Amino acid sequence: MNLWSLKNKSVLIVDDYDKMRMLIREMLMPLGPAKVVMSRNGKDAIEQLEKNKFDIVLCDYKLGSGRDGQQVLEEARHRNLLSYAAIFFIITTENTSKMVMGAIDYLPDDYISKPFTQSQIQTRLEKASRKKAQLVEIVQAMSARNFSKALSICDQKFQEKTYGQTELQKIKGELLCKLGRLDEAEKFYIDLLAERNIPWVRLALGKVYFQKGNYTEAEVQFESLVNENPAYVHALDWLADTLEKLGQSERSQGMLERAIDLSPKSPVRQRKLAATAFKNGAYDMAEEAYESAIKEGRNSCFGDLADFTGLTKALICQDKTEEALEKIDNINKDYKQNSDAQFFSALSKSILYRELNDLNACEDNLEVVFKALNKRVGGLDVETALDITQTCLTLDNQALTTKIVKQLVNDYSENEQVLDQVRSLYEKAGKLDEANEIIQGTREEIIKINNEGVRMVQDGKLEQSINFFIQAAKGMPNNATINFNAAYSMVKQMKKTGEIGKYFSLAQRFMDQGHKIDPANQKYFQLLKLTEDINNEAA
Amino acid sequence: MKQHKKTVDSSPIRSVDFSTVLASCIHDMKNSLSILLNKIDEIEAETVDAKNKSELEQLQYQGKRINNHLIQLLVLYRINQSQYFANINETGIRDFLDDALEPYISMFKHRNISVSIQCDDDLYWYIDSDLIQGVLANIMNNLYIYAKTEMVVIARIENQRFILQIKDDGQGYPDEMFLTPTCSTQKRFSFKSSSTGLGLYFSEIAAEMHQNNGEKGYITTSNDGINGGGCFSIVLP
């Protein structure tokens, strides 16, 4: 009878209870899996996922003190440790509704609750792989980044099958958004809601409004979701983001507090609450949330040492400077392996001594910051760059100030919000004119660089323009125009030569980066269309 | 803005959130129950002696009852604390029924009760599968005692509502347990007379958690089953 089996499949079982692990393994053995690996906690599970490729993961939700099953799933998906074809089950002991409310991206393929029998788990696994198989063409088109094609397959499947369409509906809506066809996505979701009030549809509709910049309407959708289901964490997250955009920082903080009460283990959410609370002057709450972000981030891919800087600032605002110094000393102690530890401890100290008006100690630490900065890979986040700028300004160190600000302005010359923050720092130092000069000068330089590259494209010197823009993007990775132009040069070249292998994924990386910086920029969608055309011609 | 309260405990014993204790306790109990039930399965599979086999089935049955009661208690507790929110998703009913009834099929087979499912393969509806599974488990546990030779599970859509019925050929419900959509809640469930009070109470709450466009789900009981046996229905908008 058992045509379906686990032949050639490798399975990972994660449970903190050894008897349970053995029991599950015994259940699977008759199905003939190629390999079964067992893990007792989230940390070990992630290590296994880093080392091996698994087709099936069965992970208990409760895993003792470290990560829980949901966090293992999130990290695995976030870090691409799982192929799309892989099946991830979360094993639960109680009702799943609290967990099911997760982000669509991070939903497991199924939940299975204890106790279960061998035939139950077999049926579930079989069902999940059948489901995956049905969507395989769509997924292939999606991973080849041909969203238009994926959408047309999706529409075709709607015609073939008029029931059980939830999965297709989710994908279709997502594809419309990915293609920038937001009006169509909006209508699609509104039509679905007219038939039945389905929470995921309303969440998706709210996201469309958010993406459109229609925050008032987004608020209406998210608000109604959290009223109907106060435990819907992701609706709370989105509502908090929306309120932030609407300038209602205090309400935003309230929503984040509620989300944290429900789901405290996310360092990202704790960090967001900390930053919002700090902005609102709720320094005690900011302190607490940064502490939690540090604690939860310790074993997570979402950890960030910049939380220590935030914590330092929250402590300074409460005059707890001695405590701040103690916390900073912990960075070097607790993060010996982390190459960023020195950088962040020096940065935090420079801020602390700046506020204590001990300018000598401040300067010593700033020196360490700049030394570490030269060795650091990857760019600086805005907050960190602004912190350094402020310290440089306080110390009145012209050379270092210019160095850091030029880099920041260079990278964010199109981002008025960041530029305003730079201006306000300079204004406090009585040097607003200087800031405007730097910003103006940098902008002109960038325009010149950009024009030079564009001229190369126009002259048909495509290889040259590609190299030129790649170099430029290295210097200013957060400049959307430069990134889009790098991608555009490559697209042009692919069209000219008909050879796509060399530049296809690289072009995508640049356009994705541009899209991330400036999601509303239509250039991305034009480029998307062009790459899809290239893809179709090649096929 | 929310103020941070630091309450000072006057008593030496810290008060803990009862729902956390309950949840973690049930988590633990279900782990043990899992092992217990699977061990019984194993032993039963190897047992040839008919008398032993039937005794093991009794153990299995009781284990499943405990499991179901644990779930019901937890869900009712959460609903009472306003912590439970229905998680309603489009569900393939055929697959759902196969899955939910699977652990009971062999149990019924041993008692020579036949179980049949009447449900189209392409029947889909919006349900909270955890809740409805609890409802089914409760009925199954009762019919294990009350059904004589057969029972049938019928699922269909009628007037834009989903109807799930379980009919059996037992002696039927006693008069005091007849439920219609309109009878008042107060007199509906007495927990004094029998344990089924909890099951029906849970089922009704589970049905009411299903809402669409202002309409609520409900349950009914009658003796329109097979040869005057019981008929349990749950109707969901």
**pLDDT digits (tens), chain B, 237 positions:** 444 544 444 444 556 677 678 777 887 888 888 888 888 888 988 888 888 888 888 888 888 888 888 888 888 887 877 777 888 888 999 989 988 898 788 788 888 999 999 999 889 999 998 899 999 998 998 898 889 999 999 999 999 999 999 999 998 888 777 777 766 555 555 555 555 577 888 999 999 999 998 899 999 999 999 999 999 999 999
Residue partners of B63: CB distance under 8 A and separation at least 6: B33, B36, B37, B40
3-state secondary structure (DSSP) of residue A381: coil
Residue among B1, B79, B125 with most chain A CBs within 10 A, to mutate: B1
pLDDT at A1: 40
CA torsion A506→A509→A515→A517, rounded to 10°?
A: -120
C-alpha span between B82 and A92 (Å, rounded): 21
Burial readout B184-202 (b: 16 or more C-beta within 10 A, e: otherwise): eeeebbeeeeeebebbbbb
| Residue A26: both structure tokens together | 């015994």
In chain A, what residues touch B209 (CB-CB under 8 Å)? none
- Spatial neighbors of A379 by CB under 8 A, at least 6 apart, are A411, A477, A478
Per residue in A410-453, pLDDT (tens digit) is: 888 888 999 999 999 999 999 999 999 999 999 999 999 999 99
Could you say which of B2, B27, B34 has the minimum Cβ distance to residue A115? Answer: B34
C-alpha A224/C-alpha A25 separation (Å) is: 44
Q: What's the pLDDT score for residue A230?
A: 83
Does A17 touch chain B if contact means CB atoms closer than 8 Å? Answer: yes
The predicted structure's pLDDT at residue B187: 52
Sequence-distant (≥ 6) Cβ neighbours of residue B145 within 8 angstroms: none
A2 touches chain B (CB under 8 A): no
Per the CB < 8 A criterion, the answer to whether A185 and A208 are in contact is yes
> What tokens were used for A271?
């960090």
**Residue spans of chain A under pLDDT 50:** 1-2, 96-104
d(CA A320, CA A317): 8
The identity of residue A178, as a single letter, is K
Q: Compute the distance between CA of residue B168 and CA of residue B226 in angstroms, rounded to an integer.
A: 5
Q: Which helix (H) or strand (E) holds A39?
A: strand A35-39
SS3 A539: coil
Task: Answer whether B162's CB lies under 8 Å from B183's CB.
Answer: no
Q: For the structural domain made of B89-236, what CATH number should be given?
A: 3.30.565.10
What would you measure as the largest C-alpha separation in chain B, in angstroms?
Answer: 70
pLDDT at residue B7, rounded to an integer = 46
- Calculate the CA A74 to chain-centre distance: 11
The pLDDT value recorded for residue A204 is 95
Q: Do A97 and B87 touch (CB under 8 A)?
A: yes
Task: Pick the residue from chain A with its C-alpha nearest to B103.
Answer: A117
Partner residue opposite B2 with nearest CB, options A97, A230, A254:
A254
Contact A231 B89 (CB under 8 A): no
Beta-ladder partners of B63: none
Which pair of tokens denotes residue A445? 């330089």
Looking at residue B168, its amino acid is D
The complex's ipTM?
Answer: 0.72
Characterise A498 by phi-psi region: left (phi > 0), alpha (psi -120 to 50), beta (else): left
Give the Cβ contact number of residue A155 at 10 Å: 12
Query: Which pLDDT score, from 0 to 100, does residue A266 have?
Result: 84
Domains and their CATH numbers in chain A: 10-134 (3.40.50.2300), 460-538 (1.25.40)
Question: What is the 8-class DSSP label of residue A89?
Answer: E
**pLDDT given for residue A369 in this prediction:** 93
Judge contact between A483 and A450, C-beta under 8 A. Answer: no
* Contact residues, chain B, for A229 at CB < 8 Å: 85
In this complex, the residue of A94, A232, A288 whose CB is nearest that of residue B74 is A94
- Distance CA(A234)–CA(A242), nearest Å, equals 12
Q: A320, A284 in Cβ contact below 8 A?
A: no
Please tell me the pTM assigned to this model. Answer: 0.83
Residues on chain A touching B98 (C-beta within 8 angstroms): 123
How far B85 CA sits from the closest chain A CA (Å)? 6
Q: What CA–CA distance (Å, rounded) separates B195 from B73?
A: 13
Separation in Å, CA A82 to CA A12, A85, A303, B100:
12, 8, 20, 29
Task: Using CA coordinates, name the residue in chain B closest to A262.
Answer: B83
Q: Output the DSSP codes for chain B.
A: -PPPP-PPP-SSSPP--HHHHHHHHHHHHHHHHHHHHHHHHHHHHH---HHHHHHHHHHHHHHHHHHHHHHHHHHHHHHHTT------EEEEHHHHHHHHHHHHHHHHHHTT-EEEEE--TT-EEEE-HHHHHHHHHHHHHHHHHH-SSEEEEEEEEETTEEEEEEEE-SS---GGG-B-TTS-STTT--TTT-THHHHHHHHHHHHHT-EETTEE-EEEEES-SGGG--EEEEEE-
Answer whether the bond into residue A108 is a cis peptide, omega within 30°.
Answer: no
B156, B123 contact by CB (below 8 A): yes
Q: Which two tokens stand for residue A274?
A: 């900390």
Helix, strand, or coil (residue A468): helix
What pLDDT score was predicted for residue A333?
A: 87
Chain B residues closer than 8 Å to A123 by CB: 98-99, 102
**CA B41 – CA B37 distance, rounded (Å):** 6
What amino acid is encoded at A468 in this protein? F
Quote the CA–CA distance of A118 and B42 in Å, as a whole number: 11
Name the residue facing A280 among B1, B83, B126 (closest C-beta). Answer: B1
